[in-house]
Structure 1
């Protein structure tokens, strides 16, 4: 039986998809947004907390969702990731009740990413790490990244895979965040799955933003990859299409920009109930746009008892127990 009573806004949401823009990166972020025709995001601690109060968000887990440097500047990526992570860690240290932290890693520099992950998780007490869906055109199933996944799996770490522009031309007239970002999330998840990453590293908990792109809707179509000869998909884990779907269901999914009347039912039908998390995508998604998606989530008429609260809070507490502490 479905729950048909009008749901009430949960006053204690945990937002696993919220972004930080340190003051020393504001210009870079504004320039990047302008280059793709997207509203320039602005962020500071006070406005972020005010936004969370307006939207019933108790805690926002912050991440820096942009390339750290150009493809030929690994030293720059290491420097920027360290500065961003130490800035965000200080925010979390001062307000652990309001902020969490997914640390930026300087991929494709695997040695740098391993060092930064250790520093962030051990010294800065980050709640997890964040990587982009592709790094200068290299996707996350790349064998070169195996040492990082092995280390994060050993730590049972939480990993947010944030989308970025794919290495293809955008749809004319459509900013990449609208079409290309969910496309690239899907590509990243498929590449990891075909290469067997979720199966080999089951203790690593990977969050896909925006309901996983197109993955829930097309998961059983994608599972036909299991029927292809393994020689054409080196690294494919093998098994049946059902096994492939099981691997896809290992991912976690957030609801940012994804509570529309077609998207939400697809996500709920596919994802494990405890693997769906609330996300706002603030400030990359302007607040006045995001509140409409909040309302759609709250007003969805077919929630089973307790499931909306699980999405809003309980699932995040299971994933990151610190967030459930009083």
Structure 2
């Protein structure tokens, strides 16, 4: 009896938003997160202060693959924990190597988005070029305001050029920022009928986060929530 041939035309579930963090200390120095734990769970600490409790699948590739199997997900794209996005190049390079190692150990079940040091635009461009050489790395995760800059800021030109030249897409992750002044070309409505509101005490979502949550309301606005006609299936807005 011969084995059935798998149907390679059948749709597969691909998860593009899942974070990964390597176990242990990547680099020495203040301000760098450290992940410790065992098969019961883990803890991220920053300067010995607790930051977040996490599940073992955050760092354990085998546990993560088991979770994917249970959920019926064929491929997952892993990306850095957002708290690391503003760290320096030494940490991010080590983290990018760890992401690539995790992808390589997954049996083609994991791909990865890396991260780059936006405190130095030239270094960011150089790390993009290096990311393109790492097996399993397929893009770059960026914060909504990397180093306090809008995504169309001229200072990011070398980084954006390198990403384009190396054919690496950007995954924009909503983040909370100390400076949430939205800038050039802001508008207060869109052709789809969305109207931004500024509710008090609301998390400062970026335009990119709002865009993904409302199917196309791509304005730039601080702490923006959206009112759109009708329900929004799959909305990510809390």
* TM class by smaller structure: 0.5 to 0.7
Query: What aligned pairs does 1:29-40 form with structure 2 within 5 A after superposition?
Result: 30-31=44-45, 40=53
Say what the alpha-carbon RMSD is for the aligned residues: 3.6
Matched, 1:20 2:43: no
> What CA distance in whole angstroms lies between the structure 2 residues aligned with 1:100 and 1:210?
25
When normalised by structure 2's length, the TM-score is 0.63
Question: Which of 57, 60, 80 pairs up with 1:64?
Answer: 80
Decide which moves more: 25-34 or 94-103: 25-34
Unaligned ranges ≥5, structure 2:
1-9, 25-33, 37-41, 181-198, 221-229
RCO greater where, 1 or 2, for CA within 8 Å and sep 6 or more? Answer: 1
Say yes or no: does 1:117 pair with 2:128.
yes
User: How many residue pairs were aligned?
Assistant: 182
TM-score norm. by structure 1 comes to 0.48
Cα gap change, 1:136/1:31 in structure 2, threshold over 3 Å: closer, same or farther?
farther
Match among 208, 227, 231 for residue 262 of structure 1: 231
Contact 1:65 1:162 in 2 (8 A): no
More strand by share: 2
> Distance in 2 between the 1:56 and 1:116 partners?
34
2:109 to 76, 84, 98: 98
**1:68–1:106 CA contact under 8 A, matched in 2:** no
Answer whether contact 2:129 2:162 (CA < 8 A) is retained.
Answer: no
Higher helix share: 1
Deviation at 1:215, TM superposition (A): 6.3
Match of 1:85 among 85, 96, 102: 96
The 8 Å contact of residues 107 and 113 in structure 1, kept in 2 or not, is answered as: yes
Q: Which moved more, 1:93-102 or 1:22-31?
A: 22-31
| 1:163 match | 174
Aligned residue for 1:141, secondary structure, equals coil
1:96 deviates by 4.2
Say which of 50, 54, 57 aligns to 2:70: 54
1:120/1:126 contact within 8 Å kept: yes
* TM-aligned CA deviation for residue 105 of structure 1: 1.0
Residue correspondence of structure 1 range 1-326 to structure 2 within 5 A:
12-24=12-24, 25-26=34-35, 30-31=44-45, 40-42=53-55, 43=58, 44-68=60-84, 77-167=88-178, 172=201, 179-180=203-204, 183-184=205-206, 186=207, 189=208, 212-214=212-214, 216=216, 218-219=217-218, 222=219, 262-264=231-233
Shift of 1:138: 2.2
Query: Residue 89 of structure 1 contacts residue 125 of structure 1 at CA under 8 Å; is this kept in 2?
Result: yes
Instruction: State the alpha-carbon separation in 2 of the partners of residues 54 and 210 from structure 1.
Output: 30
SS class of match (2:35): helix
Write out per-residue CA displacement over residues 232-286 of structure 1, whole angstroms, 9 at most, x where no aligned residue.
xxxxxxxxxxxxxxxxxxxxxxxxxxxxx82228x8xxxxxxxxxxx9xxxxxxx
Q: Secondary structure at the match of 2:54?
A: coil
